[in-house]
Structure 1
Amino acid sequence: MTTSTGGFDRVKALKEFDDTKAGVKGLVDSGITTIPAIFRHPHLHHDLSPAASHLSIPTVDLSLPRSTVIDHIVSASKQWGFFQVVNHGIPLSAIENTISAIRSFHELPADVRSQHYTRERVGGVSYSSNLDLFRARAASWRDTVQIHMGPVRPEVDRIPAVCRAETLAWDEHAKEIAREVMGMMCEGLGLDTRRMEEMSCLEDRLMVCHYYAPCPEPDRTFGIVDHTDAAVLTVLIQDMIGGLQVKKEEDGKEVWVDVKPIPGALVINVGELLQIISNDIYKSAGHRVVANSHQDARVSIAIFYNPGKRGESDLYGPLPELISSEKGAFYQNFTISEYMGAFISKELRSKTLVEQFKL
C-alpha cells in the first residue's frame, strides 16, 4: 500500500476515517456527494462489465427426494461453487428478523454505534469498516459486525442489544442447514454423511454481518472486491437489494453472474478449505459485491464454517478416501494455524490459498 501520492497521505486519511468510528454509514449521513480518495479503485470501469444476464447460479430445492438433492448439490459444487437452497424449513420470519436487526444496528445514531467500534474481536465481537482497511489497495463501501459464534460462545453482552437475540437464534438455524448440506456433500463424494462434522467442520463459526450503505459514486468503488472464502462452507442470507456476483468461466472467458435474491433462500458456497479437502472435486469460486447504487442500504449476513480442532497434530488436506493411484493428492497437509496465518497475512483480493498449498 502506498503511503502518499502527489501530496496525498493515504495512511493519514485511513486513520482519520477509522478514528471517526462512524464507518461508511457516517460518511453517507454527512451528506457527501463524492467518495473519499481512500475508496477509489483505479481502473474500476474495466472491471465492471455488465453481468451475464443469461446465466444464473443453481437453485436447490431441499424438499425433493434426497438422492435428487444430493445430485443437484454435487453438480452445483463442481460447476459453480455456489447455489441457493429453498424449502429448507427455516421460517421466512427468522431470516427477515435477523436482517432487520442487523440493519437496525447499523442505522443507530453514530454516537451509539461508535461505542462498539473496534478492530479487535473483544469477547468474540467487533464492529468496524473494512476488515483489511490498512492492507487493501483501496477501501470498499461497507461496514461490518463480526460475531465469533463457536467453538467458544461469544460474550453475549458484547453483541449489540438491538441484534443480540436475532443473531444468536440465526446461528442455530443456519448450523442445522450447514449440517444437512455438509452431510449431502459428503455422500456425494462417497463418504460417510458425518465425515466433515466429525472433522469438527461445524464447530468454528464466524458470523459476518455486512451493511452496504448507498454509494454516491458506485462506479468508483466496490462493496467487496473479488475474493474467495477461506472457509469450508459459507451460508449467507441477503435482503432483496442484490449486488452479489459470482465469477464463472464460459467459452474460455470469465464472466460475472448476479446472485439474484430469492425470498427466503439461503446462498451457500464452497470455500477454499473444502476445495482442498475434496481434492479439487468441489470448487471454490471468486465472488464480489458491487457498490450499492440503490437508495436503500443492502444487508447480508454470512456464516463461515471452519474446523474447531486446531492442535498441532490436527492436520488438514485432501481426504485419504479421495486419493488413489489414479488420482493423487493435489495439496499438502497443514494445520489450521498455518492455513489461517496465510489468509490473514494478505489483503482480501489476493487470497489464493489453494495455490499456496498445492503440491
Structure 2
Amino acid sequence: MGSTDTIDSILSERIAFDETKAGVKGLVDAGINKVPSLFHHQPDRFDKASNLGNKNHVIPVIDLTDIDKDPSKRHEIVDTVKEASETWGFFQVVNHGIPLSVLEEMKNGVKRDILLKYKKHIMELGILLFELLSEALGLNQNHLKDMGCAEGLAAIGHYYPACPEPQLTMGTAKHSDNDFLTVLLQDHIGGLQVLYQDKWIDITPAHGALVVNIGDLLQLITNDRFKSVEHRVLANHVGPRISVACFFSTFVRGNSKLYGPIKELLSEDNPPKYKETTVSDYDAYCVAKGLDGTSALAHYRI
C-alpha cells in the first residue's frame, strides 16, 4: 500500500469514527483491548527531546502559606516564582487557599459539576499569581492584572480512560498554551510531562497541589523573560485520569486591544522581540497552524 492509500485509509477510518458520534468513551464502553490505528502516535520528526533522565529534575513546589501576613515571606515567594517562570515556565503551588474538599469535588465534578464554585477560588488564586509575577518582573503588583491578563477564564475538564496500549498513542500531544497563565488540577495518576533542558520531565502529582504554567502570551509580553514551554500527557494503562485546566486570557470576541512586550521591561540592550497582536488574532493563528511541532510565538518574532 502506497503512502496515498495509507492516508486515504486513515481519513476513511476517521470519518467513520466521527459518524458514530460515540467518541472515545464509546470505544471504552465497548471494551476494546487494542488502540485503533487512527489513534496511533507517529514519532514526531521535530521532537528530539530525550525521555531519559527525567527523574533527575523536579519542578519547583511553592508554598503560599501566610503570603499576605509576612512581607519577607512574600518577597521570598516572589523570588521563587521569578526563577521558576524564567527557567521552567512551570511550578506547583500548595497551601493556596482552595480547600482540599473543593479540589476533590472538582475532579469528581468532571463527571458531574461544581464549576462555578471552583471558578471563584481559581480566579482569586489567579489574581494572586499575577501579582507575584508582576512583582517578579519589578513592576507594580497590579500591572499584569491591569493589562487584562485575568479578564477571561476558561476551564476544560480532561477525562483520559485507561489505555490498553499506551506505547502506541498519547494522551495529549506536545504543545504550549496560547494564554497568559494556566492553572491545572490533576489527580493521582500522573502522566503530565514538561520539556526541560531537552528532556521530558514527569510532573509527579502532589496531593492538594495545583500546577501553574506560563502561557505564550505571557512570554510575549515579558519579552522572553518568562518561558512558555512545551508539555504533553502520556497515555496510561491505569485510568481514568482526571484533570482540569483553567486558562487565563481575554476571551472577549472582537477585543481589539494590542499586546506586545511591556515597555517598562524594554531598553537599548533589551529591544522588543515580538510584534504586537490581539489575543483573538493569536488564537486564530494557533488554530490555523495546529500542532505541527513548532511554536506559534515564532510567527510573531521581529
How does the TM-score come out when normalised to structure 2? 0.91
Name 2:41's counterpart in structure 1: 41
Structure 2 counterpart of 1:17, one-letter code: F
Structure 2 counterpart of 1:23, one-letter code: G
> Could you report, residue by residue, the CA deviation over 1:300-356 in whole angstroms, capped at 9, with x for unpaired residues?
000111125665651101011111112100111112222111111022354512111
Aligned with 1:71 (options 79, 92, 105): 79
Separation of aligned partners in 1, 2:149 and 2:259: 11
Shift of 1:21: 2.5
Matches within 5 A, 1:50-89: 50=52, 52-63=54-65, 65-89=73-97
* Aligned 8 A contact 2:180 2:218 in 1: yes
- Consecutive unaligned residues of structure 2, counting only runs of 5 or more, are 68-72
> Could you report, residue by residue, the CA deviation over 1:136-195 in whole angstroms, capped at 9, with x for unpaired residues?
xxxxxxxxxxxxxxxxxxxxxxxxxx31xx111111111111110111100111111111
Aligned in 2, Cα 1:210/1:3: closer, same or farther, shift over 3 Å? farther
Q: Does 1:282 align with 2:226?
A: yes
Q: Does 1:217 align with 2:161?
A: no
Separation of aligned partners in 2, 1:285 and 1:18: 32
Separation of aligned partners in 2, 1:171 and 1:89: 13
* Aligned 8 A contact 2:149 2:180 in 1: yes
Separation of aligned partners in 2, 1:51 and 1:23: 35
Name 1:17's counterpart in structure 2: 17
- SS of the residue corresponding to residue 14 of structure 1 reads helix
- SS of the residue corresponding to residue 5 of structure 1 reads helix
Structure 1 counterpart of 2:59, one-letter code: I
Shift of 1:210: 0.7
Separation of aligned partners in 1, 2:3 and 2:134: 47
Name 1:127's counterpart in structure 2: none
Separation of aligned partners in 2, 1:269 and 1:212: 21
- SS of the residue corresponding to residue 166 of structure 2 reads coil
Matches within 5 A, 1:1-359: 5-6=5-6, 9-43=9-43, 49-50=51-52, 52-63=54-65, 65-102=73-110, 104=111, 162-163=112-113, 166-249=114-197, 254-294=198-238, 296-308=239-251, 313-350=256-293, 352-359=295-302
- Consecutive unaligned residues of structure 1, counting only runs of 5 or more, are 105-161
Shift of 1:4: 5.3
Shift of 1:47: 7.2
Shift of 1:293: 1.9
Name 1:148's counterpart in structure 2: none
Shift of 1:46: 8.6
* Aligned 8 A contact 2:49 2:195 in 1: no
Separation of aligned partners in 1, 2:48 and 2:252: 42
The structure whose residues are more often strand, as a share, is: 1
How does the TM-score come out when normalised to structure 1? 0.77
CA RMSD of aligned residues (A): 2.1
* Aligned 8 A contact 2:179 2:217 in 1: yes
Alignment length, in residue pairs?
293
